[in-house]
Structure 1
């Protein structure tokens, strides 16, 4: 059976620190010790107390950490996703309203 995915309207934001796009922050030391992914391009924020933290978003599959130049996608139903700058415009098309 062949199918086609139904388009979903989404709002897309280039991630910027301080805009509240993330769902939370986790200490970098926890990300590194618990993770099994490349951490080179993760966004890292140094708190006033010297603690380095990484922003993340929650979604149905768990938690995804924000990398440099990522876009946060928020679907009309409130579901959030992350997409890298190298793929965003292959997967999403801007619409005029």
Structure 2
């Protein structure tokens, strides 16, 4: 998704930067996309932190430690020992 959004730069350079010399429309569009990216990144960090806390609480409740990671290796990100990072 990030690569797809980043490739919109080609579209911006070709079709949005149309009013020289100040390029208000182009710069405004890019600033809007950057703002959206910042907001979505902050939301993703908050959500991953929330999910990690839930997993840590369930591991503490059920007594699951990192010594048992081989038992959960086939579960992927559903494993209680999996942690999201950014």
Q: Same fold (TM over 0.5)?
A: no
How would you bin the TM-score normalised by the shorter chain? under 0.3
* TM-score normalised by structure 1 residue count: 0.21
Instruction: State TM-score, norm by structure 2.
Output: 0.22
Structure with bigger helix share is 2
More strand by share: 1
Higher relative contact order (CA 8 A, sep 6+): 1
